[in-house]
């Protein structure tokens, strides 16, 4: 059996290094850039952004608040003041438009850690997978929201690796490294994409937040797909690709509508055939065979009659 080339190699050969890493570079720039914006204050005394991802103030005018944390605080019985509420609203509107899990792939610092674990898994061909369901995150989301309601305390913040890592980098790590390391080794050795893809309730929340997001990845030229599987290999949520890429026969449009697609754009990079591109969720029915539209009208008519 021939050894399969490392995912994305074909794209590099065909499109050139820069084009095959375009979105990854953009994403790392965004992640590290945002981190630097937070860090430049405490490190160099240049105060552009104060605070952390839980709540921040940019240039003394733009408040941003993590709506997930604010929701927990409200469930605990505390109302935000105007600034906090406006900050959360801005974040909600933004992610509702561009995709909730854009937070995960373009902002969250833990993504750097879990992406490293996933890369090592690919590099060393660690295939063992876990039985953890991808729906476990919604259970945890429920639990996390139930805690403040019952106890009046934001219990998740005693464990949340996302806020601990980010806050730690800016305000002082303490032993938060242990928790970050735990996430890394969990992803590397126990469950592939285990943290971000199966457990993180914050990702689940942002996913739901962006369930109607306008910006979506689209398998625009899916007929060119040669089943090399590279996109599935690199995708942090590979289950989201299949309906859009392979659903032409079942009258499924080419837009990846699954809320767990993080809009990371890595599938666009690694596809040598340029099947994927960023687009909008609109016009998803265009290009489907006419038989699909007919079938749908028939079904709608049946539903209306019943």
Residues that bind another protein (CB under 8 A): 41, 47, 50-52, 54-57, 63, 65-66, 69-70, 73, 76-81, 83-84, 87, 133, 135-136, 139-140, 143, 146-148, 151-159, 163-164, 167-168, 170-176, 178-179
CA distance 281 to 154: 35
Helix (H) or strand (E) holding 29: helix 22-44
Instruction: For the CB of residue 162, give the shortest distance to another protein in the complex, in Å.
Output: 12
Is the Cβ of residue 23 or residue 147 nearer to another protein in the bound state?
147
Q: Give which of 218, 38, 200 is closest to 111, Cα–Cα.
A: 200
Helix (H) or strand (E) holding 183: helix 176-185
Sign of the C-alpha dihedral computed for residues 31, 36, 42 and 48 taken in this order = negative
Instruction: For the CB of residue 120, give the shortest distance to another protein in the complex, in Å.
Output: 25
Tokens, residue 121: 């898994």
Is the Cβ of residue 52 or residue 221 nearer to another protein in the bound state?
52
Residue 88's contacts (CB-CB under 8 Å, 6 or more residues apart) are 65, 66, 67, 70, 80
Q: What's the farthest any 2 CA atoms get from each other in the chain?
A: 69
Instruction: For the CB of residue 63, give the shortest distance to another protein in the complex, in Å.
Output: 6
Is the Cβ of residue 6 or residue 138 nearer to another protein in the bound state?
138
Phi (first) and psi of residue 216, to 5 degrees: -145, 155
Instruction: For the CB of residue 248, give the shortest distance to another protein in the complex, in Å.
Output: 29
Is the Cβ of residue 45 or residue 303 nearer to another protein in the bound state?
45
Instruction: For the CB of residue 167, give the shortest distance to another protein in the complex, in Å.
Output: 5
Is the Cβ of residue 168 or residue 253 nearer to another protein in the bound state?
168
Question: Locate tokens 């979506």: which residue?
Answer: 216
Residue 154's contacts (CB-CB under 8 Å, 6 or more residues apart) are 69, 72, 73, 76, 147, 148
Is the Cβ of residue 151 or residue 211 nearer to another protein in the bound state?
151
Query: What is the distance in angstroms between the CA of the first residue and the CA of the last residue of the chain?
Result: 55
**Distances from the Cα of 67 to the Cαs of 49, 220, 245, in angstroms?**
18, 33, 33
**Distances from the Cα of 272 to the Cαs of 64, 156, 227, 268, in angstroms?**
39, 42, 11, 9
Instruction: For the CB of residue 180, give the shortest distance to another protein in the complex, in Å.
Output: 10
DSSP state of 255: B
């Amino acid at each position: 059996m021939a050894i399969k080339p490392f995912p994305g190699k074909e794209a590099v050969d065909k499109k050139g290094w820069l084009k095959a890493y375009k979105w990854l570079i953009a994403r790392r720039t965004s992640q590290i850039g945002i981190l630097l914006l937070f860090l430049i204050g405490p490190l160099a005394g240049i105060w552009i952004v104060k605070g952390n991802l839980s709540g921040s103030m940019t240039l003394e005018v733009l408040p941003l608040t993590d709506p997930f944390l604010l929701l927990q605080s409200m469930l605990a019985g505390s109302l935000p003041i105007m600034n906090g509420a406006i900050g959360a609203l801005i974040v909600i509107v933004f992610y509702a438009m561009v995709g909730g899990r854009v937070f995960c792939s373009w902002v969250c610092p833990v993504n750097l850690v879990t992406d490293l674990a996933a890369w090592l898994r690919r590099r060393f061909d660690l295939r063992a997978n876990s039985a953890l369901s991808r729906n476990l995150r919604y259970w945890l989301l429920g639990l996390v929201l139930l805690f403040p309601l019952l106890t009046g305390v934001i219990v998740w913040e005693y464990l949340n690796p996302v806020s601990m890592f980010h806050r730690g980098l800016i305000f002082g790590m303490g032993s938060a490294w242990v928790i970050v390391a735990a996430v890394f080794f969990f992803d590397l050795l126990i469950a592939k994409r285990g943290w971000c893809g199966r457990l993180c309730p914050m990702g689940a929340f942002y996913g739901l937040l962006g369930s109607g997001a306008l910006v979506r990845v689209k398998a625009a030229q899916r007929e060119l797909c040669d089943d090399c599987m590279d996109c599935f290999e690199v995708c942090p949520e590979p289950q989201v690709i299949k309906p859009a890429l392979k659903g032409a026969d079942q009258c499924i449009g080419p837009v990846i509508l699954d809320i767990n697609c993080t809009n990371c754009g890595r599938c666009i990079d690694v596809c040598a055939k340029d099947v994927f591109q960023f687009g909008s969720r609109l016009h998803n029915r265009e290009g489907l065979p006419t038989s699909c539209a007919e079938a749908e009208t028939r079904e709608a008519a049946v539903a209306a009659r019943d």
